[in-house]
Structure formats: C-alpha cells, structure tokens
Amino acid sequence: MKPDQRSFRIALLADRFVNPPPGELDGLAVAARAGWGVMQLPAADYPAQIAGRILAEVAEQLEEFSRHGYDFVVVGECGGLPAALGAVGLPVPDQIMPSTAQELLGLLKARPAPPGSSWPGLA
C-alpha cells in the first residue's frame, strides 16, 4: 500500500479563495501547491443561521485535528469563526490576508512542521 501522504496542515480558506472571481488569488491552487489541506469557510451569501451551522461543523472537525497536533492557518476573513471556535474551546489560528499567490505560498511553506506529523499510527 502507498504510504499515507497527509501533510498535517490545514488552511481554513474564506470562500473567495476557494471560488475566486476571475483574476483574483486562487487560494485553493496555492494550498495544493504547498501541500496543505483546505477547510472551506461559508460563503458570504449564506443566511446567518446557515452560516452559523456550517461554522459549528467546521469547529467540531477542527477540534479533532487540534487534539492530534495538526497546524492551521486562516486565510481571509470570516466573521463568525472566532465565536464558533470559542464554543469548542479553540483559539483563532494565525490569520493571513495575502494579496498574491507568492505571498500565500511563502507563508504556508514557512510554517514549522506540526507536532502531529510524527503520528505513529501511520504505516
């Protein structure tokens, strides 16, 4: 079996970096190039009640990653995120507002290896 290739790194991307308007920064492509997984934050056009439930699910999953030493960054802005994370006892991760793909790539690649990357459970 091919070894597990996970990176133990997750970028929480504002929707505009997952579905960028033409000509704007494609955060999903940059995350892929840097070897980071992506958790998408809710689009701004969702009603607040739906966005709140999406964020609650994001927070619940992030709590599981957090307990296993994964690294996170938030890329862009999402108003309800601090409250959702706070509800599961998590602080807001480092947040970046990149203006270019190179800037984002550099920031992601400069992060130190997360503690979870020595997980002995992998073959």
Q: Which residues bind another protein (CB under 8 A)?
A: 1-10, 18-24, 26, 28-29, 31-40, 43, 45-47, 50, 53-54, 57-58, 60-61, 64-65, 68, 70, 101, 119, 121-123
- The nearer residue to another protein, 29 or 92, going by C-beta atoms, is 29
- The nearer residue to another protein, 88 or 92, going by C-beta atoms, is 88
Q: How far is the CB of 91 from another protein (least distance, A)?
A: 19
Quickly count: other Cβ atoms within 10 Å of residue 96's Cβ: 15
- The nearer residue to another protein, 57 or 77, going by C-beta atoms, is 57
Query: What is the secondary structure of the chain as a DSSP string?
Result: -PPP---SEEEEE-HHHHSPPTTS--HHHHHHHHT-EEEEPPPTTS-HHHHHHHHHHHHHHHHHHHHTT-EEEEES--TTHHHHHHHTT-PPPEEE--SSHHHHHHHHHTSPPPGGGG-TT--
> Is-contact 101 31, C-beta < 8 A?
no
Q: How far is the CB of 95 from another protein (least distance, A)?
A: 18
Q: How far is the CB of 5 from another protein (least distance, A)?
A: 5
Q: How far is the CB of 10 from another protein (least distance, A)?
A: 6
- The nearer residue to another protein, 33 or 82, going by C-beta atoms, is 33
